[in-house]
Amino acid sequence: MGKKTPLRELSGQFGRITHVNSDVNGTEWMLAGNCQDYSPSTFFPSDGVGVDAARAICQDCPVKDRCREYALAERIEHGVWGGCSERERRRILKRRKLETISA
């Protein structure tokens, strides 16, 4: 399909992820993502059809959970990460916040 483009490259356009390292908050796992074989624009869709296409690629990604948690922890607002859209990540964060408050 598209050219090989590591997720770390496309995420770098937001100025948050600019390197690969092996620490606990590192981004080395991105090298194992299914998105390596797709254009960055695939994961920054402008409509619901595009979101569904990105989600389909994430579906069987071996680092899907890690990717989602990374995006949540880093409060990444744009794009599809770990099979979740921006809206879905906002919902997850809101739910977790409410769970923390009620615990």
In the bound state with ligand SF4, the residue whose beta carbon lies nearer, of 46 and 100, is: 46
Using an 8 Å Cβ cutoff, are 32 and 60 in contact? no
Q: By 3-state DSSP, what share of the chain in percent is helix, strand and coil, each rounded to 5?
A: 55, 0, 40
Distance of closest approach, residue 10 Cβ to ligand SF4, in angstroms = 9
Q: At what angle do helices 86-102 and 64-73 cross, to 10 degrees?
A: 70
**Chain contacts with ligand SF4 (rule: CB under 6 A):** 7, 30, 33-35, 43, 57-58, 61, 63-64, 67, 81-83
Distance of closest approach, residue 63 Cβ to ligand SF4, in angstroms = 5
In the bound state with ligand SF4, the residue whose beta carbon lies nearer, of 56 and 93, is: 56
From the list 48, 35, 42, the residue with the least C-alpha distance to 4 is 35
Distance of closest approach, residue 77 Cβ to ligand SF4, in angstroms = 15
In the bound state with ligand SF4, the residue whose beta carbon lies nearer, of 51 and 63, is: 63
> Residues with Cβ < 8 Å from 53, sequence gap 6 or more?
42, 45
In the bound state with ligand SF4, the residue whose beta carbon lies nearer, of 34 and 39, is: 34
